Amino acid sequence: MAAEPQTGRSERGCYVYGIVSQDVEPTDEARGVGDPPARVEIVRHDGIAALVSEIDLSRPLGQPEDLMAHQQLLDASAAEVAVLPLRFGAVLTSKDAVVDELLAPHREEFTSALRELEGRVQYVVKGRYVEPAVLNEILSENPEAAELKDEISKAPDDDATRDVRIRLGEIIADAIAAKREADTRELGRILEPHCVATSVREPTHEQDAVHVAVMVDTSKQDDLEQAVADLTRDWEDRVTVRLLGPMAVYDFVGAPPAEG
């Protein structure tokens, strides 16, 4: 659920990061979007609350530092309390509007979601194939690819093998897609005992091996991290694995944030 950005005559607005329980209290050091970074406050209503900060409506949103501030505030909060993150760029005209247009109309929905998220966080497992290793796999498994590679290596120049190189590229792309699907299934099998839910993300690079978000109970964070560490060791010759998190549960309530 995200409030749509609004503009008005006032040059000040209320930026909304996410929904929390009404007993949450931001620290004095909590800062959000803005230049300089704005102090984060809380707007309460009937058992729930919104993390907000004042924002200058004349300043365009969307700079990398804005996205980072939004995500950092939510991730730091999620490490301590249940947070229902809103999409980047949710702005209302005032704190009263936050209550009237966001918290009050969606109180039951937000209360139920926060109950489900209590004691849970998100991680993202991202892996990218080691290029020489995955190419060797494909050439050893696909006779046609090996023949085409040999033909290219013996050709006098690139112009003579244009069609061959196109065909080899197609084979490699199809093979990587098949490997990605198989490795994603294997990752899911390994992580399933430690997760509440999983969400497969689209690849961000042609050589991505896996890209999966998982929601996990905080009591099982160590188990999840150990499972990924074991997988990293098992796959080290063919896939470079990264574990990102803990973070707010973006993939299970809305759109995922941009990644670095």
The domain spans of the chain are 12-118, 121-252
Q: H or E stretch including 181?
A: helix 162-191
pLDDT for 46-56, tens place per residue?
999 999 999 99
What's residue 7's pLDDT? Answer: 44
Q: What percent of the chain has pLDDT over 70?
A: 93
pLDDT for 203-232, tens place per residue?
999 999 999 999 999 999 999 999 999 999
What's residue 8's pLDDT? Answer: 43
Q: Is the per-residue pLDDT at 27 higher than 70?
A: yes
pLDDT for 126-144, tens place per residue?
999 999 999 999 999 999 9
Q: Decide if 101 contacts 92 (C-beta within 8 A).
A: yes
Q: Is the per-residue pLDDT at 4 higher than 90?
A: no
114-118, Cβ contacts within 8 angstroms, sequence gap of 24 or more: 114/19, 114/20, 114/21, 114/48, 114/82, 114/84, 117/82, 117/83, 117/84, 117/249, 117/253, 118/82
pTM for the whole thing? 0.86
Query: Which residues, 6 or more positions from 62, have their beta carbon under 8 angstroms from its beta carbon?
Result: 89
Q: Is the per-residue pLDDT at 151 higher than 70?
A: yes
Q: Is the per-residue pLDDT at 109 higher than 90?
A: yes
pLDDT for 172-209, tens place per residue?
999 999 999 999 999 999 999 999 999 999 999 999 99
d(CA 205, CA 93): 39
pLDDT for 50-107, tens place per residue?
999 999 988 888 889 999 999 999 999 999 999 999 999 999 999 999 999 999 999 9
